[in-house]
Structure formats: structure tokens, C-alpha cells
Amino acid sequence: MSKTKVAVIFGSRSAEHDVSIVTAIASIIKPLELSAIYEPVPVYIDKQGRWFSHPRLKDIALYTTGQIDDFLSKQKPLLLQMGGGMKITWPGIKPKSVKLGAVFPATHGTHGEDGELAGTLEMANVPYVGCDMPSSVIAMDKALAKTIASYEGIPTPKYVWFYSRDFMGDNDSVLTKLSGLTYPLFVKPVHLGSSIAISKVNSAKELINAIEVAAHYDDKIIVEEAINNLIEVTVPIMGNASPKAALVEQPILNSDNVFDFESKYIRQGKKGGAKSSESAQGYSKLPADLPKELYAAAEELAIKTYKAIGCSGIARVDLLIDSKTKKVYFNEINPMPGSLYAHNWKKSGLSNLKLAENLIDLALERFKAKQKLTTTFKTTYLKQY
Ligand SMILES: Nc1ncnc2c1ncn2[C@@H]1O[C@H](COP(=O)(O)OP(=O)(O)OP(=O)(O)O)[C@@H](O)[C@H]1O
Ligand SMILES: [Mg+2]
């Protein structure tokens, strides 16, 4: 029996472009090359948004040596065909086409993880791994995710959100809205990650400056109360109807207690790190060093949040714990965890191959269930014309 072709899509127009290359190659493509049932087909979206596929795109050295631009200049972008599944075509005198059995998105951040890719794949009616479009859109908006979570009874730090233009237009009315919050406060652009343009502030003056900074990066801003006596944990979750957690993991914070891009990706951090997943554990406690009840509470809250946001396939839920009050709060949810958080799943007993295969199985299961839904409805509407 021939193997099911699975396009692993990575790169794209995102600040996390390079992280996505590592996720795709190290955690998905390489393990799947050993699969007896699935065959990975690399699909690389370059920084301009062009789609390419070639066996050489599976080679990490192509990117690390900077040869990628030269290589792509000799390649023709793919043609995509959608409807009743997805077909990719290599153009040329003798064009070659492949019908995909499934798609494995491995993009992080904008133009991918944010729901745009899921929406495209949904339109194409092809099975795909990971969160669907609505859950991705919610997850990638810190204000929307907190609003939905708190509506479902999930504790979050007390927060207020507003549009950047409202602050620019009427500074005072936004500050009045924020006056119910107690310092110290965190100011965050709602759509960004990697701690970009995030500030911790202690006074009204700092608050205004921080909002102005955040407004340069995003059209929507969230301001929230800081959780004291902080323990941060992150919980990878997998599944459709009955999601299961991997190990609760506790990243080691840097000196000012805020994660930054450097500590996350360069020095190996909680995103899973930019190099081997094992070394990511050097910067986290796995499993987290928490009293039994608190560990169970974190696991439970993470699964509850995953369900409330409507996630499927995989996601990673970040929680903030006040170690004095023992209260657990939802911070954010990532629809495509860096490197799939494979190091954590491995420690939970799942090999890289099994992890990737299970995720494709879940994609096929969700697709099958969705095909059963009725999408047609016979009417006499057109008869009146
Ligand atoms: N309400 C809060 N109370 C205490 N610390 C917080 C709070 N919000 C954020 N932090 C700290 O700031 C860090 C960055 O915040 P957050 O996770 O919201 O941003 P991010 O840029 O989306 O990060 P990521 O790279 O995980 O996507 C957190 O990991 C945590 O250390
Ligand atoms: Mg975070």
C-alpha cells in the first residue's frame, strides 16, 4: 500500500519564520521519514509568501548556510489547486501534480498559526493537523482568548482591552477604563508573541509610555494585573473530543522574571528551543516542581481552556500561578507549539514519530467527522426569479 502524502507547510511571512523551519524539519519531516504510513512532502513558504516544494527543502543546512535564496531563485513556485481536496503542482513543460492526503501546518505566528492557513485548508476540504480557523483566531488574540476563557469560568488576571486608535483619539477615556486595575500592570499587544513590545509598569506615566510602544506594533492592546509570587508553567495538550495533557512544564525565568526572545529561542527556552529538544529541558523543570494538588489543578485548567477555546489536534496552554494563594490563572494559548514541544511528549512516553503520526491520525479523524455534517439545504429560493 502506498503511503499517504502529507504536506508539511512551514516558513511564511512571520517574525517566527526561522522557528517554523526547525519545527517542520526536526519535529515533523525527519521523524515522518521513518513512518510506514505517511510520507512527508516539504512545502516551504518563503518570506515573500511564495510556496515551494523540493526534496532539498528537507535539509536544514540549506537554511543555516544561507543558500536558500540562491536555491529558490532557480525554482518555480508551486501551483495550488483547491476544492475536493488539495493538489500541488510543480509547473514546467511536463507539470507534475500530487494530491495530498493531509496537510501538517508547522507555521508560527502571522500568516499561518493565526488561522489564515487553517481557513485556506478548510476551504480546500483537505484534512489538516492542529487547531481549526476559529480556535486559532481566538488563541492568537490575547484579549479574545481571555474573554472567552473567563466567560467559561476560567480564572485570568484582571484585564482591560482597547483599540490603539481609541487611545490615540481619547487618551483619558481609555485611562479611565484602566483605572480599575491595580499596579503593577502588564501592557501587551494582543496579537504578538515572544514578549515583543510587552512592558511591566508601576505608574500612570509608565503605563502611558508602554501603551504608546505597544500601539506601534498592534491595533489592539491588553492591560492586565500582574500575578504576584509567580510560578509559570506550560502544558502541551493533544486531542480532539477528549484531549490529554503531556507533562506540566516549568520554564526557568530570566533575572527580570519576564521571558524574552533571547531566552526563549537562542538560549533554549520554553518554546521548545531552536536546537535539539532535549537541551530545552535544561531551561525548564520537567515535570514542574509543584505540590500534587497544584500540579493537578494546572493540568485540569489547561485542558478546560483548550476545550473552551475550541482547540483540536494540539496546542500549548501557558498558566500563571500565585504560589502564595495557590491560584492558577490562564495566560495564553499557542495553537502550534514550537517544535510541537516534542521533548515534553517524549518524556511523557511518546516518540517524535508517534507524536507526528498521532497528530495526522487526529486530523483525519476530525475531517471524517466533519464530512458527516450536512452542508447542503434544498430550497425553492431560486424558483422566484
Ligand atoms: N499578568 C501577568 N503577571 C505576571 N507575569 C506576567 C503576566 N503577563 C505576562 N507575564 C510575564 O511576561 C511573559 C510574557 O508574557 P506573555 O506570555 O503574555 O507574552 P508572549 O509575548 O505572548 O510570550 P510567548 O512567547 O509565550 O508567546 C510571561 O511569560 C510572564 O513571564
Ligand atoms: Mg507567553
Task: Decide the pairing of beta strands 86-90 and 96-99.
Answer: antiparallel
Q: What is the pLDDT of residues 325-371, one digit of tens each?
A: 999 999 999 999 999 999 999 999 999 999 999 999 999 999 999 99
Say how many Å lie between the CA of residue 194 and the centre of ligand 2: 7
pLDDT of residue 279: 38
Nearest protein CA to atom 16 of ligand 1, as residue = 195
Nearest protein CA to atom 10 of ligand 1, as residue = 258
Q: What is the rounded CA–CA span in Å between residue 26 and residue 159?
A: 37
Q: What is the pLDDT of residues 61-81, one digit of tens each?
A: 999 999 999 999 999 999 999
Cβ of residue 357 lying under 6 Å from some atom of ligand 1: no
Q: Grade residue 192 by pLDDT with cuts at 50, 70 and 90.
A: confident
Q: Residue 316: pLDDT above 60?
A: yes
Q: What is the pLDDT of residues 127-178, one digit of tens each?
A: 999 999 999 999 999 999 999 999 999 999 999 999 999 998 888 999 999 9
Q: Grade residue 374 by pLDDT with cuts at 50, 70 and 90.
A: confident
Say how many Å lie between the CA of residue 73 and the centre of ligand 2: 36
Q: Residue 270: pLDDT above 80?
A: no
Ligand nearest to the CA of 191: 1
Q: Tell me the C-alpha to C-alpha distance, in Å, between residue 187 and each of 193, 204, 380.
A: 13, 12, 54
CATH of 158-225, one of 3.30.1490.20, 1.10.1760.20, 3.40.50.150, 3.40.50.2300: 3.30.1490.20
User: What radius of gyration, in Å, describes the C-alpha atoms of the chain?
Assistant: 22
pLDDT of residue 264: 52
Q: Residue 274: pLDDT above 50?
A: no
pLDDT of residue 35: 98
- Give the domain ranges of the chain: 4-129, 158-225, 230-370
CB 9 within 8 A of CB 117: yes
Q: What is the pTM of this model?
A: 0.92
Q: What is the rounded CA–CA span in Å between residue 126 and residue 4?
A: 13
Q: Residue 8: pLDDT above 70?
A: yes
CATH number of 230-370: 3.30.470.20
CB 309 within 8 A of CB 297: no
- Alpha helices, DSSP H only, in 171-265? 171-178, 204-217, 261
The full DSSP string for 240-281 is SSS-EE---BEEPP-TTS---HIIIIITT-TT--SS-HHHHG
- Given its phi and psi angles, is residue 51 left (phi above 0), alpha (psi -120 to 50 degrees) or beta? beta
Q: Grade residue 254 by pLDDT with cuts at 50, 70 and 90.
A: low
Nearest protein CA to atom 27 of ligand 1, as residue = 193
Share of the chain above pLDDT 70, in %: 92
What is the average pLDDT score of the chain?
A: 92
pLDDT of residue 211: 97
Cβ of residue 224 lying under 6 Å from some atom of ligand 1: yes
pLDDT of residue 275: 36
What architecture (CATH level 2) is domain 4-129? 3-Layer(aba) Sandwich (3.40)
Q: What is the pLDDT of residues 9-60, one digit of tens each?
A: 999 999 899 999 999 999 999 999 999 999 999 999 999 999 999 999 999 9
Ligand nearest to the CA of 253: 1
**Residue 55 identity (one-letter amino acid):** P
Q: Grade residue 262 by pLDDT with cuts at 50, 70 and 90.
A: low
